[in-house]
Amino acid sequence: MIRVAVRARYSPLVAAALLAGCSLYSPSASGGFQPASHEVGSGSSSGYIQHVVIVIQENRSFDDLFSTFPGADGTSGGCMAAPSRLRSSLVPRSHLRSAPCPTGDEYVPLQKVNLVAPCDYNHHYNTFLDDYDNGLMDGFGSENGNKVTCPGKAGTAVYQYVDPQQIAPYWTIAQQYVLGDHMFQTQGSGSFTAHQDLVAASTVLDGAKTKSLVDFPDHTPWGCDAPAGTKTDQLFFNGSKLQDQYHKGPFPCLTYETLRDLLDAKSVSWKYYSPPVFNKRSGAHAAGSLWNAFDAIKAVRKGSEWKSNIAQPKIFFSDVKHGTLPAVSWIIPDETNSDHPGNASDTGPSWVASIVNAIGESPYWDSTAIVVVWDDWGGFYDHEPPAFFDNWGGLGLRVPMLVVSAYAREAYPSQPGYISHTQYEFGSVLRFIENTWALGTLGTTDQRATSIVDCLDFTQPPRAFTPIPSKYSRRYFEHQPPSNEPVDTQ
């Protein structure tokens, strides 16, 4: 059945913008739309969940991995506009109810492709605006690919979905546990800010909340180890609209509060498993130079926790085996295992399965929630428009989310495979952690975000674990040498 994004999901802010004919990127001074703040889950996570593991994969939209998943909000095709027409006018999404595509757009069926993708497409702030195209979600074909391997415009190539057989572990997890089909990036941007949002729920830089980081620094590493003079990009809200200020932001060694501060204040243990920032042999930048969020947080990078709380990804398995898993973990994969387009590797789904299996086959199973998210959309088509906009460049585009737990909500009694249609953002994961340990709040997007607690049901007995089959074993990853490849560029 063909579904081409026909649902109109406007906030009052967006509806008012449409009626007034003003830009959707003119948020209110208060920071924009504020969804209802409430918990929906069956019981509090406190007392049941003692460990949260956040696994962060790379650069895939929801439709790219789950567009054909039964019962999920997917699609079989989308609309593609000519680049010359992008962002030309405000067109209500209801226009799509009377025709497959707006006048002048091409309808493009999603094509089934391999997980190993040759092209790394643009996925920065201005690309996000083009893709979104004032709510029409038809600008994806205008993106550029790698200048050497994929020159020129993406065209129909980004209108795709990955062969489900090649990502079988992800589908098995979704069939057995919880798939979130309305998880949105905190900001319409790339990996740098996405990884920040997963530790801070925001990249707001000033007390007036008018400036926020966007895109990525102009040199690597993307953090305190960057060369002197490195600048970030930033968005500035001037009271009526957002301005994209290229290389006008601060040096990427940041002082804003993160979840680490709340965890430390309550003596809740945490660890950030990430590839090394530098290759010890060569001294060159390695994968962690782009994906280690805490390398950009001054209090961690310049403090003792850089040695005690930052570890390589494979150490996770050792910590589980030896009973030293912290309460809160972030796991950043080696580039090879990340699902990142252009890395010529198919190990990502098995990598995630190995993490789930390590927990599932350990004493931690009954007390752990595993959350798998992809940091940004990677330029791939997604039909679902962001639900609202704020003063900091969000919400961004939709990405997949998987939640694994002995208490994962079931679709029906004793029938696994629940699909949560709740609207989430990255702050939803942080809010769940904050509520589980009564940490308080960072006062950023975690305040407005709906917790992912409704993915769990503590009225049901903890279910037994069944291993997730995968192509590559846990042993493979335990002995895998680091690639030292900082492949990401955005």
Domain ranges of the chain: 12-74+161-478
Average pLDDT over residues 440-451: 97
Q: List Cβ neighbours of 264 (8 Å cut-off, separation of 6 or more).
A: none
Alpha-carbon distance of 95 to 136, in angstroms, equals 9
* pLDDT tens string 476-486: 999 998 887 76
Tokens at residue 9, please? 């999901």
pLDDT band (50, 70, 90) for residue 203: very high
pLDDT band (50, 70, 90) for residue 73: very high
Domain 12-74+161-478 CATH class label: alpha beta
Q: Are 48 and 437 in contact (CB under 8 A)?
A: no
User: Is the pLDDT assigned to residue 14 strictly greater than 50?
Assistant: no
* Predicted pLDDT at 110: 98
Q: List Cβ neighbours of 84 (8 Å cut-off, separation of 6 or more).
A: none
Report the range of poorest mean pLDDT among 216-220, 266-270, 322-326: 216-220
The more confidently predicted of residues 5 and 89 is 89
Average pLDDT over residues 86-91: 58
Greatest mean pLDDT range, 14-23, 70-79, 410-419:
70-79
* Predicted pLDDT at 45: 78
pTM: 0.90
User: Is the pLDDT assigned to residue 315 strictly greater than 50?
Assistant: yes
pLDDT band (50, 70, 90) for residue 97: very low
User: Is the pLDDT assigned to residue 131 strictly greater than 90?
Assistant: yes
* Predicted pLDDT at 30: 34
User: Is the pLDDT assigned to residue 20 strictly greater than 90?
Assistant: no
Average pLDDT over residues 415-434: 97
CA 227 vs CA 32, 77, 231, 267: distances in Å: 35, 44, 10, 34
The more confidently predicted of residues 81 and 30 is 81
Alpha-carbon distance of 214 to 222, in angstroms, equals 12
The more confidently predicted of residues 13 and 423 is 423
The more confidently predicted of residues 247 and 284 is 247
